Structure 1
Amino acid sequence: MVPMTDVTLEQVFAGLLTGGDSAAFIVVALMIVVLVCLMIAASAGYFQVILNIAAFARPDARVRAIGNPMVNRETAAAVLEAHTLHDLFDRFRTAGHAFPPAAEMDIDTVERAIRAHYCRSLISLTANVPDSVRGFFMSYTGMVLAEEAAWIVAAKARGVPPADIEGSVTSAGPLTPEMIRKAVHASGAEEAVTRFASAPFGPVLAGAYNLAGGDIAQFSLLLRRELLIRLSLAARGVDISLAPPVTQVAGRLIDVANLRVLLRALSFGTPRERTSRHLIPQGGHELIGERFLRAGRAGSLPDLIQSLAGTQYEPYLSARPDAVRDADIPVFEAALDRCLLDTVRAVANQYHLESGPLLRYLVALGFEAQNMQAIANGVAASLPPEEMERVLVLEEIRE
């Protein structure tokens, strides 16, 4: 028997060729093959990591350079000093948001300009992310555009004049001016839904409208639910090596959506069986399994917040006992917004070499648009800066 140690490759091949003590040599040869395969696999894994880092390096650097100035407290403080809408948009441009110049401004044109800028920013971002995560970003952008289309449907249901609707909505990507014009001039909400049939979000829009049975409030909630389910599916379609930050952000969005539904239901006394239609039982991040069931069974706001003990959401929702006592939903909404913004910033830090910075930028864009809308309305109403600041979603400055 040939010893298993101090065997060279030359001895192995020689032994195999001559047939001498072939069993031992075959075992050694197999061991060498296994080791070589393991080394190749490990090298391939490291090589894939390097490729992933390289793929995200440029888009990550781009969004870091652009940033999200309107969730920055210092930038927002400077913008809040605006006295007119023209002055406000000059400050938006100084902060880094490239709005085109406008001769005349009123609150309707301003709100439309902000929404158009938001949609353009999403489409531009989606076009510049790596292919490996583009499906998720496309799904998120589609969600925003679908909700813009849903606003048109809701306006038709309320009997808003076509000219007023057309002057308030914005076209972007698959939501074309022609599609908007046809929907706006439809005979009613149901016909308006059919005008979006050719859009990627058309089937989702129609499904939610039919399920709601003409109830526009139900339509909005059911649409949001279905869009988030599809977003979760898009997140799970990302390659497993890149999936963790994407699925975490999708899960957080679902958690927050579920909490909004539960908070409103408990505040307004909505029956539990009706509330359950709007919840998303799968795809959450922390609100899953038994915790999801406990939250759904909560009979009061204090019970709901207690069921969230140990999650990231509980400290934000319990920070204002007066809001719990008074069932102050706007305070809870703002708390969840801040929690989500803090969460995506943490994801950006943890996955800073992958999609983390892109995901933070994606979600924060929505809060920037929300903040700009709030400030514009405040400036138009001549509100003091401190009153406007109270409704903004801003990142906390940490030492």
Structure 2
Amino acid sequence: MEISDLTVLLSAGSPFITELTAAILIAIMFLLFLTLLSIVGYFPVLLSLTSYTPVVARIKARGVPYIEPELVQDLMQSGSLPDSISRLKSSGYLASVSLDCNPDQAEEELLIAWYDEVQTLRSQAPRDAWLFFDAILSFQEIAKVKRILRMVHDGRAAIIPEIPLLWPEEFTTDVALKIANSRSVSEAARIFHETRYGQILADGLVLYEKEKSVFYLDHVLDCMGFAEIKSQSSMVQAYLASPYRDYISILIDIQNIRTLIRAKHGGWNPQQVMPCLIDGGLDLPSWRLIQMNEMMSLPDLVRQLSGTRYDSVLSPLLRSYPSTESMLSIDLALDRYLLETISRLSMEYYHTGGPLLWYLVAKEFELRNIRIILTGLSEGLSSDQIGKMLITGPEET
């Protein structure tokens, strides 16, 4: 058959290709295309990216106003504690407390609202992120335990039975009453043997009783939290795990730096420090932590960070060390770096959970800012004094 004959045949229409068969062929080709996407892995990725859209839209609508410098400044300069609480109420915070509440009552309300918020985010987030949110919720449970032990340490244990919404899981009324009547942090920590935190706290009690510092109890609980969050994140699908893993590894680095700085400033024995360090950081592997721990002073320790991302954060602060505010300045510098880093990660991983991470981290700083401002106003501190303790930054875009 000549080409001219084929042209005539097609232009005349083929008895074998009707409109119905053409539609069937197109449908088959489309199904084959979808199958191909699924085989090479693009289809589940596209579905996961799309599933993040509603929750990201929600957190953008809510925002994190009280890390914005202008709004923080306005809240500090409101004039009095009731005026600040009134402003917060108008912004949707502290809905369940009165204008004459004290900072402790405001803190309880903020914490309860925040824990509920994370539960809501978890329910609205894609299934791919649930494991990570479960680990975040576990961290919050640990924060409740740490708060209870600090309340005992500060002589405020009597009010613990009155705030069941801030009890950790497995915490019963009987346990709350026992802790409220405990005479020391050691006694309170031992009462936790009835919960999953019992053995963990028992491991930290030896050093606590020797040094009389709740740092050691905080540390063993932090290790528990990091172990859980690392385990959960390892089960997140590979193409979605990067923002969570980057965040955790940087968080571990910062935790280790804080521990080492505190140890050198306090003159701890290096042998005491090693059990307080956590493996799994991004820039500071175990061998480097050992090397840093061998330094004799805090300035020598910071100089060992040369070549890492933390060098430019901490080295400028050595000029004022030691001073009455130098340790606070170091802590705040690390906090600001964490917020800056999570802002960058939120854009780098915009379609795979980055904005969720930013919201979680920024919201915690926001709640801390609010608690500091309310406490500062209650104690008569000036705006300048309060402002030095706050963490602010541009809102995520």
Q: TM-score, normalised by structure 2?
A: 0.80
Contact 1:348 1:359 in 2 (8 A): yes
Report what 2:316 is aligned to: 319
Aligned residues: 362
Query: Is the deviation greater in 225-234 or in 96-105?
Result: 96-105
Aligned letter for 1:91? Answer: R
Moved more, 243-252 or 175-184: 175-184
Residues 93, 99 of structure 1: 8 Å contact kept: yes
8 Å CA contact 2:201–2:220 kept in 1: the answer is no
Q: What is the CA distance between 1:165 and its match in structure 2?
A: 4.3
From 140, 157, 163, the equivalent of 2:136 is: 140
Contact 2:145 2:168 in 1 (8 A): no
Aligned to 1:100: 96
What letter matches 2:309 in structure 1?
Q
Residue 54 of structure 2 is aligned to residue 77 of structure 1 = no
Q: Does 1:54 align with 2:50?
A: yes
Residue matched to 1:255: 253
The residue type equivalent to 1:83 in the other structure is: G
The residue that corresponds to 1:171 in the other structure is: 166
Write the distance in 1 (CA, Å) between the matches of 2:149 and 2:229: 22
SS in 1 for 2:52: helix
Q: Does 1:119 align with 2:132?
A: no
What is the aligned partner in structure 2 of residue 388 from structure 1?
386
Identity %: 24
Instruction: Spell out the pairing of 1:16-27 with structure 2 (5 A cutoff).
Output: none
Residue equivalent to 2:362: 364
Partner of 1:13: none
| Cα RMSD after superposing both structures | 3.2
Higher alpha-carbon deviation: 388-397 or 163-172: 163-172
Deviates more, 1:202-211 or 1:260-269: 202-211
| Correspondence for 2:155 | 160
Paired with 1:356 and 1:199, the residues of 2 have a C-alpha distance of 34
Aligned in 2, Cα 1:346/1:194: closer, same or farther, shift over 3 Å?
same
Corresponding residue for residue 339 of structure 1: 337
Contact 1:82 1:379 in 2 (8 A): no
Mapping 1:177-192, distance limit 5 Å: 178=173, 180-181=176-177, 183-185=179-181, 189=185, 192=188
1:303/1:194 Cα in 2 relative to 1: closer, same or farther (>3 Å)? closer
1:230: which partner in 2?
A: 228
Question: CA contact under 8 A between 1:152 and 1:184: conserved in structure 2?
Answer: no
Please show how residues 237-316 of structure 1 align to structure 2 within 5 Å: 237-280=235-278, 282-316=279-313
Give CA-to-partner distance per residue, 1:258-299, whole Å, 9 cap, x none: 00001111111111110111101x211222254434333333
Could you tell me how far 1:340 is from its partner in structure 2?
Answer: 0.4
Q: Distance in 2 between matches of 1:184 and 1:128?
A: 37
Q: Measure, in 2, the Cα distance between the counterparts of 1:48 and 1:86.
A: 51
**Contact in 2 for aligned 1:115/1:170 (Cα 8 Å):** no
Conservation of the 8 A alpha-carbon contact between 1:317 and 1:335: yes
Structure 1 pair 326/188, CA: closer, same or farther in 2 (3 Å)?
Answer: closer
How far apart, in 2, do the equivalents of 1:83 and 1:192 lie? 39
Tell me the SS of whatever aligns to 2:223: helix
CA distance in 2, matches of 1:139, 1:201: 15
Quickly say closer, same or farther: Cα 1:60–1:195, change in 2 above 3 A: farther
Residue number among 31, 34, 40 corresponding to 2:36 in the alignment: 40
**Cα gap change, 1:262 to 1:50, in 2 (>3 Å):** same
In 1, Cα distance between equivalents of 2:307 and 2:394: 22
TM-score normalised by L of structure 1: 0.79
Distance 1:369 1:73 in 2: 14
- SS of residue paired to 2:221: helix
Q: Residues of 2 paired with 1:202 and 1:238: CA distance?
A: 29
